[in-house]
Structure 1
C-alpha cells in the first residue's frame, strides 16, 4: 500500500512538472517559413493592425520558423531574414505566452519601420524574389503580400492602363517573357489588394475585381498551391510625406448605369395594308398580311413591350355602334391570333378591344347628305397595334 502511494505521488509530481513546462504554442510537425512583402510606401494605406498579419506571425513563432521581409519599392530588396529560435529551457504557460508576445512585438517593430527606399513599385520582381527564397526552404511555405497590387514599373506597369486588360492576356505576355514568378508549393495570402491612399484615386469595383483576377492568374500560373485574398480593413493614418514618390494609376470610372426608357411603339394597319373581306374578320390575302406583320413580331421579341390591339371601322349607313364594335374586335383578334401563330409570346398581349367608330381617331366619313365618303371611310377601317405605355394607348383605353 505504501509502495502504491509512493508511485501515485511520483506520477503526480511528474505530471505537474510537465504541465508547468507546457508552451502556449500549437504543436507543429514542421516549421513555417513566411515571406512577407510589405513596406510603408506612398499611395497605399497602412495595414499594421491586420489580423491576417498577426495570425501569420503567431504561426511562425509557434513553429520556430523563419521570416523574411521583402520591400516592394522600385528596386525590391530583402530587408532581413529572421529565425525564431526555440527557447533553451521549457517555460510555464504564462512565461511562454509572454515570450511569444515579445517575439510578435519585436517583429511588428521591424515591420512598422520598414520603408520604401526607391521611387515606384515593382511588385512582380518582389514576388519573384520571395519565390526564390521560399523555394530553398524546408517545411511549410507561406507568402503574405501586404500591398494594393498597383505596380508602377517593370513588366507589369499599371500606369500603362493594364488594370483594364484581360488577366489571360497578361499571363500569356509574362510567360513569353519568362517572367512568371516560381511559386510552386507556396500558399499565397494577400492583404490590401486594391486599397488606396494619398494621391491614388480609388478603384472602381470593376477595376478591383480585374486586378484580383490578374494577380490570382499570375500566382496560379507560377504554381502556387493556393491564393487567398483577405478583406482586412486598413489601419487609421498613413504618414507618407517623406516616402519616395509612386506614380498614381489613372482610373477610368465606369459610366453610371442608365436604364433606357421604354420605347413607345404604335403600328397603324390601315385598310390599304391589312385588308379584310367586307363585313368580315377574314383576311383577303393572309400571306401578304404575314409579310406585313413579320417586322412587328420581330420588334416585339427584341423589345420589352406589352401590346394592345384595337380594331376600328367606318360608320357605314345602317350599321349600329354595337355591330361596328363587334366587327372591329373580331378583326383585332384575327391580327392578334395570326401574330401568335407567327411566334409572338402570348405574354406580350395586354388588351384587345374593338372601338368601331367611337374613338378619338375617328374621322367623320359621312357626306352632307348622309351617304358614306368611301375615301375617308377607308382610313377609318384599321387595326392599331400599340404598346401600353404609349400616348395612343392612353387615348384608346380612355372610357
Structure 2
C-alpha cells in the first residue's frame, strides 16, 4: 500500500507540473484552474482504477494452475485465467465510481482546453481582439496598400514588414502592390520562381525584396485625395480569403464615407465610426484576412501633426473597422514612418485638428473640460480616453492642492433625451471626474459634485463633457 501511495504522489506531482506548464500558456485564469484541476483529478482517478483492475487480474483463484507453470504446460487443457466476471475480477462499486469519475473529468478537461485554445476571443470593445498578432506563417498572399501620396511620409519597408514578406515569398506566395490615392489601383505583382537549391531560393527572395524597394521608391499617387477604405477593399480582393493586408498610410482618408476633413471626425469614437459604416454596408470585405497597420497617424508637411491622443484614437478607429469587418487578426506596428512626402504627388486636403487647450483656473470661474481634454462614451459615464483624462486632471489636481482651492464638478449632457435621464447621467459623469481627482490625491473634502443635465452651459449635440467650477 505504501508503494502505491508513493507512486500516487509522484504521478500526481508530475501530472500537475506537466499540465500546468502546457495549459498556463495563453489561457484565462478560470480556464487555467479548471484545466489543471480537471486533468489532475481525472488522471488520479484513472490511475487508481487501473491499479485496482491490475491487482485483481493478477490474483489467482484457488485451484488454478500456479503462474510458474504457465510457461511449461503439462496438459492440453486450456488454462484458466481470471475474468472480470469471476469473483477475483468483479468490478466493485467503488471501481465503477472511480472509472466514471475519470471519464467525466477527462472529458471536462478536453472540453475546457479545446474552448481555451481554439475558441478564445478578446473583449468586444473599441480596440479589437486582445493580444492578436498576424504571424508571418507564409500562408496566403500579401497585399501592400501603400499611400505614396501627399501629406504622408515616403513609404519604406519596416523590418517587421520585410520579415513578413520574406516568409510569404519563400513559401511561394504572391505580393500585390496597391497604390493608395483617391482611386486606389493595383500597381504590380511580385513573386519568385522555384529554385533548384536552397541557396538560389534565398537569393530569389532577396532579389525580389530589392525589386520591391525600387518599386516603392518610384510609386506615386495618380488620383487626388485618399480613399483608404477602397484601398483595403482592393487588397482584400487581391489576396483572397486567407491572405494578409498591410496598410502603410497615415489613415487620414479625405473622401466620403469617412472624410476626416469634416470637423470632429478625427476624434469620433471608433465604435461610432464602425457602426455607421456597418449600417451603410460600407465596411471593406476583410473576413478571414489578417490586417497589419503601419504608420497610422504619421504625417508629413503640410499636414499638421496629430498629438498622442488623436493618433491613438485614429489607430483605434482603423482597428475597430478591421475587427467589425471580420478580420482574422489585427496587428499594430508601432515603428513610426517619418520623412517628407513624395514629390509631384497630387494634392490631398489637409485635416484641421482641434486646437489643444491649456487648463486655466481662477477663483469663481467655470472651466469646461471639453472634448480636447475629457470626454465620455455616448450615454455613459465611462471616460473615452482614460490616459488623456488622467493627464489633464493631474494638472488640475496640482493646481487645487497648491492653491488650496475647493472645486465643484458639474456634470453635463447634450440636449438629446429625457430630462430625468440627463440629470442622472450628468451626476454620474461628475462623480467619475471627482473619483479621478481623489485618486490623484486631492482631498475629498475639497471636491463636491452634482449633475445639471443640459441646463448649465448647454453643449452641442454629440459632445460628452464635464464642467468644473472653482471656488476660493
TM-score (normalised: structure 1): 0.55
Equivalent residue for 1:144? Answer: 246
1:104 aligned onto 2:209: yes
Q: 1:85 to 1:250 in 2, by over 3 A?
A: same
Q: 1:205 aligns with which of 308, 328, 332?
A: 308
Measured after TM superposition, the shift of residue 239 of structure 1 is 5.2
Tell me if the contact between 1:33 and 1:134 (Cα under 8 Å) persists in the aligned partners: yes
Equivalent residue for 2:272? Answer: 169
Aligned pairs for 1:22-41 within 5 A: 31-41=139-149
Cα distance in 1 for residues equivalent to 2:444 and 2:318: 47
Equivalent residue for 1:395? Answer: none
Long gaps (5+) in structure 2: 1-135, 359-391, 407-433, 446-471
Tell me if the contact between 2:299 and 2:305 (Cα under 8 Å) persists in the aligned partners: yes
1:312-331 CA-partner distances (Å, limit 9, x unpaired): xxxxxxxxxxxxxxxxxxxx
- Mark the structure with the bigger radius of gyration: 1
Q: 1:151 to 1:29 in 2, by over 3 A?
A: closer
Higher strand content, 1 or 2: 1
Q: 2:234 aligns with which of 124, 129, 133?
A: 129
Cα distance in 2 for residues equivalent to 1:225 and 1:188: 8
CA RMSD of aligned residues (A): 2.9
Cα distance in 1 for residues equivalent to 2:357 and 2:226: 29
Q: 1:83 to 1:247 in 2, by over 3 A?
A: same
Aligned pairs for 1:281-296 within 5 A: none
Q: 1:265 to 1:141 in 2, by over 3 A?
A: closer
Equivalent residue for 1:232? Answer: 335
Measured after TM superposition, the shift of residue 157 of structure 1 is 0.7
Structure 1 residue matching 2:293: 3-state secondary structure? strand
Tell me if the contact between 2:192 and 2:204 (Cα under 8 Å) persists in the aligned partners: no
1:91 aligned onto 2:197: yes
Cα distance in 1 for residues equivalent to 2:157 and 2:297: 17
Measured after TM superposition, the shift of residue 104 of structure 1 is 1.2
Measured after TM superposition, the shift of residue 113 of structure 1 is 1.5
Measured after TM superposition, the shift of residue 264 of structure 1 is 4.5
Q: 1:74 aligns with which of 179, 182, 188?
A: 182
Q: 1:81 to 1:49 in 2, by over 3 A?
A: closer
1:146-201 CA-partner distances (Å, limit 9, x unpaired): 01100111201100131111111111211121101111111111110100111111
1:102-128 CA-partner distances (Å, limit 9, x unpaired): 111112222222210011101011111
1:340-382 CA-partner distances (Å, limit 9, x unpaired): xxxxxxxxxxxxxxxxxxxxxxxxxxxxxxxxxxxxxxxxxxx
Q: How many residues align?
A: 242
Structure 1 residue matching 2:332: 3-state secondary structure? strand
* Higher mean C-alpha displacement, 99-108 vs 193-202: 99-108
Q: 1:79 to 1:191 in 2, by over 3 A?
A: same
Tell me if the contact between 1:33 and 1:66 (Cα under 8 Å) persists in the aligned partners: yes
Cα distance in 2 for residues equivalent to 1:185 and 1:306: 51
Deviant stretches of 4+, over 6 Å:
300-303
Cα distance in 2 for residues equivalent to 1:247 and 1:217: 24
Q: 1:29 to 1:171 in 2, by over 3 A?
A: closer
Tell me if the contact between 1:43 and 1:200 (Cα under 8 Å) persists in the aligned partners: yes
Measured after TM superposition, the shift of residue 86 of structure 1 is 1.6
Tell me if the contact between 1:47 and 1:233 (Cα under 8 Å) persists in the aligned partners: no
Long gaps (5+) in structure 1: 1-27, 267-299, 308-390, 392-399
Structure 1 residue matching 2:261: 3-state secondary structure? helix
Q: 1:239 to 1:207 in 2, by over 3 A?
A: closer
Q: 1 or 2 for the larger relative contact order (CA 8 Å, sep ≥6)?
A: 1
Equivalent residue for 1:115? Answer: 220
Aligned pairs for 1:272-311 within 5 A: 304-305=442-443
Q: 1:264 to 1:120 in 2, by over 3 A?
A: same
